[in-house]
């Protein structure tokens, strides 16, 4: 049986929420609630970690919209749509486990699995096989999609740092850190692939142009 999969074939439990109104006033004192019901400061490292994942998810959404626009002129770019949607769901899964104290984690609670990490490597290898070897560092730019993917890469690195900072003081699933480490690399590969497929030259770093 695959990691995170039950005998029924479901990987995780379906969400058990019913949002009738957005505001609760409970956070007016600067605290927020974890999955287990505990109230903690909004400055807590755990809140910073999954809050940064939420920010990253929003930037992936921006990249998806840029992808749709670019896909009108270059339909092959839309191959990346399925992957980015999958990433958004996985980021929410990662946020679920980070928002839960280890003792409150349910066996069927959404989380990152080793298969998620492996899948990113497969996607990277698939795209990277079409790319020429790099002879210099790449600067963000060339297209809106390329730039949005680079923004997602840098926010992903920040999310990774936040998860590592949380791990310095609490138990954190190591697969979350591994996933974010791999995902930031994937955004880099996808940004290069997007330029390649669209026939847009990459902007390579030239230290003498900054002089």
Domains, the chain, ranges and CATH? Answer: 41-132+139-201 (1.20.1200.10)
- For residue 40, what pLDDT is reported? 77
When comparing pLDDT for 51 and 108, which is higher?
51
pLDDT score, position 70: 97
Helix, strand, coil percentages, rounded to 5, for the chain: 60, 5, 35
**Percentage of the chain modeled with pLDDT above 90:** 71
Does residue 156 surpass a pLDDT of 70? yes
Please give the structure tokens belonging to residue 123.
């996607």
CA nearest neighbour of 56 among 172, 171, 149: 149
Strands (E), the chain: 31-33, 39-41, 138-139, 203-204
Mean of pLDDT over the chain: 90
86 or 26, which is more confident? 86
Q: What is the mean pLDDT of residues 169-173?
A: 93
| pLDDT value of position 114 | 96
Residue 107's pLDDT is 85
How do residues 59-83 score in pLDDT, each as one tens digit?
Answer: 999 999 999 999 999 999 999 999 9
Q: What is the pLDDT of residue 1?
A: 40
Cβ 178 vs Cβ 143: under 8 Å:
no
Structure confidence at residue 21 as a pLDDT band (50, 70, 90): confident
Q: What tokens appear for 9 in the block?
A: 């074939």
pLDDT at position 8, please?
A: 44
| pLDDT at residue 211 greater than cutoff 80 | no
pLDDT digits (tens, 9 = 90+) for 88-104: 999 999 999 999 988 88
Please identify which residue in the block is written with the tokens 């930031």: 184
184 has pLDDT over 50: yes
Is the pLDDT at 146 greater than 70, yes or no? Answer: yes
- 182-211: average pLDDT: 94
How much is the pLDDT for 149? Answer: 98
Quick check: 2 and 115 in contact, CB under 8 A?
A: yes
């Amino acid at each position: 049986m695959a990691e995170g999969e039950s005998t029924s074939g479901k990987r995780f439990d379906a969400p058990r929420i019913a949002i009738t109104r957005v505001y609760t006033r409970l956070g007016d004192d600067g605290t927020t609630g974890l999955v287990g019901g505990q109230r903690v400061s909004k400055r807590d490292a755990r809140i910073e970690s999954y809050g940064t994942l939420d920010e990253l998810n929003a930037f992936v959404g921006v990249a998806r919209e840029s992808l749709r626009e670019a896909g009108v002129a270059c339909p092959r770019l839309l191959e990346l749509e399925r992957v980015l949607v999958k990433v958004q769901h996985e980021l929410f899964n990662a946020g679920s486990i980070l928002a839960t104290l280890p003792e409150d984690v349910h066996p069927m609670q959404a989380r990152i699995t080793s298969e998620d990490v492996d899948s990113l490597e497969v996607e990277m290898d698939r795209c990277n096989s079409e790319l020429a070897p790099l002879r210099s560092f790449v600067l963000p730019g060339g297209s809106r999609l390329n730039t949005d993917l680079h923004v997602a890469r840098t926010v992903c690195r920040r999310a990774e740092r936040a998860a590592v900072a949380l791990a310095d003081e609490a138990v954190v699933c190591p697969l979350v850190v591994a996933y974010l480490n791999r995902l930031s690399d994937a955004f880099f590969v996808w940004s290069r692939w997007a330029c390649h497929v669209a026939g847009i030259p990459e902007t390579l770093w030239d230290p003498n142009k900054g002089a």
